[in-house]
Structures are given as structure tokens and as C-alpha cells.
Structure 1
């Protein structure tokens, strides 16, 4: 009788080798496809240059023919005075200061570009900004903005002429765009020489990776929410294209 045992170990070994080869082939083909797709997408930490930020700005065609280029407004003096009001509530004061300086995040950007528009019939102004930031600073700023509807739901302030100002901040609905977003409506109401004046200002902030779009829109004749939404909906895709190295 032949003492040599049957060679059954070869089958498991062959299966193991086949599985290993299949896994290697999958990693090469599947991994190659994934990296190619990722290469076409913007990195979450991609930083804009100033020229890329400028290319991502919106134009008058985005807003409509009623809007004009430039930041001038017949009611700019009263509006700016209200934004220079002082309050004892620290977070509300920071908000007023940032709205006045057109710097909603308060974090030093690595790149930034800003465009301003006016709507003469309503004495409205809209400021649109694209910028990149350090990721931690941007996350902190977004989280802070989200606290304002509760922290500044009602506050008192005093304008530069000594008039009492009643302020309020409420959350507004935002289009579902970007990685994170917040919409706010700030109203500042006062009486000057017997005449009532109320500034209504819509602000929107949308984060895309470590970059963001911010919009401030409104005036003494109210804020047109549709213009803010239009700016965000049309502007965020432009930012994404700029981050991907394309020309919007």
C-alpha cells in the first residue's frame, strides 16, 4: 500500500491565493476610481486664493435687474448709525460690530473678496463675501452665530445720538446648501425726532469645507428674503467650483 497521504492541502491554498489576488485587483481598480473622483472634488481643508475668492463672487445677473453695483444708499446714514448702537449684552454687541464692519465671522480670513449691491427703490443694500478661514476658527464662528436667536432674542441698545434702540435676532430658513448654514434676521427699531425707523437686516452664512459665503441684505424698508436665498443658492456652487480649481 502506498503510504503517501492524499494531497488535499492544495485546494485551500489555491482558494486562498485566488481570494488574495481578487482582493488586490479590487483594491487597484476600486481604489483608482475613488481617488480619481476625489481628485475632482475640493478638499475639506482647501484654501482659496484672493483671486479664486473674487472669481466666486456673484454678479447683478444673479440678483435681478433692480439691483445696482455699489454700496451707496439714500438711507445709509441712518442705517449705519443704528449698526453703531451700543448694548450691555456682549454677544449682541459683537453681532452689531460685525454687521457694521461686514465681518460676520470675526476670524481672520486667509483669503477674502467682497461685492456690494444696492436696490434703490427699497433703499436696500446687499453685501456678498467669499472667504477661506482656518477650520477651527470657522467652526467656532458658525457655532456662535447659532446661539444668537436665543441670546439676542430681545435686547436694548443706544444709537450714537442717544436714542433708545430695541433689537431682536431670529433664525430664518435657509436653502439646503453647503456643509453647514445659518440664517438670521436682525431688527433694530428706534424713534428719531418723533419719526420711527426700523432697520431689518438678513444675514446668511454657509460653510463649504474651510471656506464660506456670507450675505448681509436689508435696509430701512425691510429685507427681501428671496434676494438672500437667491444669492446663496447661486453663489455656493460658484464657491465649490473655485475650490475645485475651476473657473466659475
Structure 2
């Protein structure tokens, strides 16, 4: 008589199942100990917040507020040499009257050009619309040193408007490299626009030097202005500085290097120090 063979297959399956279960249990245990499991990553079931929330680091906010724009302004101490801050109302009046020495630079820049793009540029040099009208928060600071003036603006823009304006600025050294501006008094002024390098800050940037030569009350006058624009997201810093004594590259570079990180800090939800005091 043949003796029946033991039923080994079911036993093998049972052993394999038990081994798999033990492996899963070990993996789960290991994940809990090392912090690699889902619950360890999220803190679920332990009453803990995610690690980055527990650090107290503020989450970035790309929206520029009015307070943020004011905090992002530079101070006189952050510009090289001996600049003095003026009130915001005085800085805004520079678009209409900008007396540098014995020359009203704002009036000197007022005139007509046959090239629309060049006309737009001269109209906006000491205005707040070089990049178009801000779509959101905006703040302005003005500084003076002898016969030189510096206008510093921080503002939020519509993305398309800002991108178009940055592209337009890049074309000016070619389209407006040299043109004639006819003043209200009929006087002729020669204007030259040259591209200049500025510190590599922000997401995009453009630097220009604008030189205006002509006569004022029978005396030859040369007005030199440095322009620097730095884009950070949908926000931008605009610096215009110079006068009849020229424009200092080091001043422009200092304003860009000091100002861009301030704007980036504000957009990250932090308040840069020292805090800017706006003079009304």
C-alpha cells in the first residue's frame, strides 16, 4: 500500500506569507524610527506640524504691499558719498522743476522729438512712469548731493506691461542713440543714449546713460543721467541719478546692490533693516 505524501504546498505558501508579513512589519517599524514613513514626513497622528512650519520661517509672498514698498526703499546711508534725503513731495516735484545749480533740468529735458520712443523716454526720466504706470503698490524716495539728484522707485506692475517696458528699454540705445530735442523756447538739444552695465541683481535688468547737451540762457549745458532698472518678479526698482556735474557709476551700482536684496526680503515676508523712514 502506498503511503500518502504530506501536503507540503500549503505549508510553503503559509511560510512565504508569514515571511512577507514580517518584512512589511520591519519596514513600517524602520520608517517610524528613521522618520521616512508618510506619518513621519507629515507629522500626522503625532500632533506635530511639518518641519518647515515649525521653524517659524514666513512663507514667500510675491504681492507687494504699500508698507512693503516703503520698507524696500533705500536710505541715504546706503548710497555712496554724501547724499541727503528729501521729502517725497519734493521728489515728485522734480518732474516739473529740477533746479541743479542754475539750470532747471526738468525744463531742459522738456521738448519735442520726431521719434515717439525717444519722446517717451525724455518725458519719463524724472517721472514715475518710465516702466509704465504701476498696477499696485508704489513708493518713491529722492536724494540730493550738490548739483546731483537721485530718484529711487519701488513698484508693482502688470506682468505684460513690465515685460514690454523692459524690452523697450533695451531698444533705446539703438533707436535713440542720438536725436534732437527741441525745447519750448525753440532751442535745440542733442541727446545721446548709451547702454551701460549694472550689477547682476534680480531677474532682469537694464542700464542706460542719457546725455543731453544744449544751451541754457546762452551758456552751454551738459546734463548726464544714469538709469538703472531691475525686475524682481512682477515688481521693479528704478534708479535715475545725475545732473550737470555728471552721473557716478558707483552711486548707481550701490543703489542697485543695496536695494534689490531689500525688495527680495520684503517679497519673502521679512522686514529689511534698517527700516526706511519716508519723508512726507
Q: Does 1:111 align with 2:116?
A: no
Q: 1:234 to 1:12 in 2, by over 3 A?
A: same
State whether residues 47 and 133 of structure 1, in contact with CA within 8 Å, keep that contact through their aligned partners in structure 2: no
Q: Does 1:4 align with 2:9?
A: yes
Secondary structure (helix, strand or coil) at the match of 2:125 reads helix
Shift, 1:119, TM fit: 0.9
Q: 1:102 to 1:27 in 2, by over 3 A?
A: same
Q: Which of 96, 104, 109 is matched with 1:78 structurally?
A: 104
State whether residues 100 and 148 of structure 2, in contact with CA within 8 Å, keep that contact through their aligned partners in structure 1: no
Deviations 1:18-37 (A, max 9, x none): 69x868479759xx567889
Structure 1: tracts of 5 or more residues without a match: none
Q: 1:184 to 1:12 in 2, by over 3 A?
A: farther
**What CA RMSD, in Å, does the superposition of the two structures yield over aligned residues?**
3.1
Q: Which of 184, 190, 195 is matched with 2:219 structurally?
A: 195
Q: 1:184 to 1:27 in 2, by over 3 A?
A: farther
Q: Which 4+ residue blocks in structure 1 deviate beyond 6 angstroms?
A: 8-15, 34-37
Query: 1:67-146, aligned counterparts within 5 Å?
Result: 67-70=83-86, 71=91, 73-75=99-101, 77-120=103-146, 123-146=147-170
State whether residues 48 and 131 of structure 1, in contact with CA within 8 Å, keep that contact through their aligned partners in structure 2: no
Shift, 1:131, TM fit: 1.1
The structure that has the greater radius of gyration is 2
State whether residues 82 and 145 of structure 2, in contact with CA within 8 Å, keep that contact through their aligned partners in structure 1: yes
Q: Does 1:52 align with 2:68?
A: yes
Query: 1:210-225, aligned counterparts within 5 Å?
Result: 210-225=234-249
| TM-score, normalised by the number of residues in structure 1 | 0.82
Secondary structure (helix, strand or coil) at the match of 1:147 reads helix
Q: Does 1:186 align with 2:210?
A: yes
Q: Structure 2: how far apart are the matches of 1:59 and 1:221?
A: 22
Secondary structure (helix, strand or coil) at the match of 2:246 reads coil
| Alignment-derived partner of residue 186 in structure 2 | 162
State whether residues 204 and 216 of structure 1, in contact with CA within 8 Å, keep that contact through their aligned partners in structure 2: yes
Q: Structure 1: how far apart are the matches of 2:60 and 2:231?
A: 13
Secondary structure (helix, strand or coil) at the match of 2:198 reads coil
Q: 1:195 to 1:178 in 2, by over 3 A?
A: same
Q: 1:76 to 1:110 in 2, by over 3 A?
A: farther
Q: 1:82 to 1:12 in 2, by over 3 A?
A: farther
| Alignment-derived partner of residue 3 in structure 2 | none
